[in-house]
Chain A
Amino acid sequence: MSEETLMIDPPVESAPAQAPGALPRLLAGILPDGAMSLDEHFAVHGQAPVPARRRERRSESPLIERIERAGLRGHGGAGFPTATKLRAVAASRKRAIVVVNAAEGEPASLKDRTLMQTLPHLVLDGAQLAAQAVGADELIVCVCETARASVEASAHAISERLGMPLDSARMRLTAVPGNYVAGQEAALVNCLNGGPAIPTFTPPMVFEQGVRRRPTLVANAETLAHVALIARHGPEWFRQLGTASQPGSALVTLSGALAHPGVYEIEHGASLQSLIDAAGGMLANPRALLVGGYGGSWIGGEFLRGVALSDEHLAPHGASLGAGVVLLLSQDACPVAETARATRWMAEQSAGQCGPCVNGLDSIAAAVQEIAEGHAQRNATQRIERLAALVHRRGACGHPDGTARFVTSALNAFALEFADHARRGHCEGCARPGELPLPVHRPAGAPAHEPTLPR
């Protein structure tokens, strides 16, 4: 248990003048290219709050309570309350480990690698503060090995902080495989323990027994960057942006036929249109929106005018912001072919461990492909819906659930297109190159898995 804690009042003069709560927050002072150095980082954000001795040994770190009042939830996709997670790790008597999760195996998401590449010190600040709050003396920064610039910037940032008195946890960097499920927290812990980057059966949960059997906080890189700012400015400041149920800002990866696709910081609840405007507008009318990535949901083009980017606004569409993937599909693309390709890729990304996932996702991908090619059996869409329900919650991780959600949302959003393909097969758009980003080669660490039949 750590004896370090935070002073409640950070030195005001170290914070730069800025409209209270305004955007950009995380992306303040971002450089056109390259990473922000430690000195530049402190010039923009001020020093991190100074740890002071905690009066009572067993009392909780005030930072956890501030994060709770801020209402911060994880930005890795699941949206779990960050304070609850910190508290679970802090409650253990054993010394904890903090893992910074920038594995980002979702091909349509770039925000965590961008954060590590451009603003590594904001993440490392938050990680050190979280380490103090949970009583961790070791911090492992996990960055996707395919994101070379992010790995290099992270390594340099860690070296810049050597000997910094406020950093109480020693840091090391690990480049982790780029397969889709590598970022799932048990998979990441499995990888750090010398195993493959694939999920394990829980319990034990990683907050009880994680890296080297020690209680482990696995936190998304962006989430920790928010922690760094909440520690400086407090929960009231954090709540000046966003909605009551989802306060604060979020990084989103915006892609599609836009003037300037890329990573943006939005206020939760911002309209899709305002994000499109910030990216210089659409180059062509969008046909549909994919929110949350390949474990997320399609929203049909007819709804796009009214879409706002928060979980409460997206819930009526069966969607949530997840890790912030916002992808606009163009009118020329074939949504059936796009869905078929991405579903096949997701089936291949199964770790191959759980029967319902291995067999179910393969069957779903095959059925979608048959519809796309026009030789599906009758009731093929009903079969997909039945299979999607069948795999739900039957894997060791959420991979089958996410893939099922993605496919069923496609059946909803593109009902006409699916019916058309089932009757007539390929359309003009089918021949176009795919718009959904998919890694061409299967990344190392993600071997191909043939579906297995029971003996």
Chain B
Amino acid sequence: MSPRVRVNPIACEAHGMCAELLPERISLDEWGYPIVDSEPLTPAVLDHARRAAQACPTFALLLTRDRD
């Protein structure tokens, strides 16, 4: 199963890096907090998602796999 993007809303401080690095899945609300499309990541955006997660200054962007 492909991973999905998830935000830890407690850790998130609205730096907005994720929306710049992964605009395919993340937009920002009027206060700068990410609105995430949590559909499984396609191979085309997976690398961008990893980079966005690494770039988050508060490590609030997570790539999660479903647990069965």
Q: Does B bind A?
A: yes
Q: Is the CB of A454 within 8 A of B9?
A: no
Chain A interface residue count, CB cutoff 8 Å, equals: 17
Given contacts A394-B35, A454-B31, contact A355 B9 (CB under 8 A): yes
Our pick among A201, A353, A355, A396 for the contact of B33 (Cβ within 8 Å) is A355
Tell me the total A-B contact number using a CB cutoff of 8 A: 48
Tell me which residues from 4 to 63 in chain B have a Cβ below 8 Å from any Cβ of chain A: 7-16, 29, 31-33, 35
Residues on B with C-beta less than 8 A from A353 are 9-10
A390 at the interface (CB under 8 A from B): yes
Given contacts A355-B14, A454-B14, A454-B16, contact A394 B9 (CB under 8 A): yes
Residues on B with C-beta less than 8 A from A359 are 31, 33
Residues on B with C-beta less than 8 A from A454 are 13-16, 31-33
Given contacts A356-B29, A454-B16, contact A396 B35 (CB under 8 A): no
Q: Is the CB of B11 within 8 A of A201?
A: yes
Nearest residue, chain B, Cβ from A198: B10
What is the CA–CA distance of A95 and B10 in the complex, to the nearest angstrom?
Answer: 29
Q: Is the CB of A356 within 8 A of B31?
A: yes
Our pick among A199, A355, A395, A396 for the contact of B31 (Cβ within 8 Å) is A355
Residues on B with C-beta less than 8 A from A390 are 29, 35
Q: Is the CB of A396 within 8 A of B10?
A: yes
Name the residue in B8, B9, B13, B16 with the highest tally of chain A Cβ atoms < 10 Å from its Cβ.
B9
Q: Is the CB of B9 within 8 A of A201?
A: yes
A37 at the interface (CB under 8 A from B): no
A–B complex contacts, Cβ < 8 Å, 23 sampled: A200-B10, A201-B10, A201-B11, A354-B9, A354-B10, A355-B12, A355-B31, A356-B9, A356-B31, A357-B9, A359-B33, A360-B31, A390-B29, A390-B35, A394-B33, A394-B35, A395-B9, A396-B9, A396-B10, A453-B31, A454-B13, A454-B31, A455-B13
B residues lining the A interface (CB < 8 Å): 7-16, 29, 31-33, 35
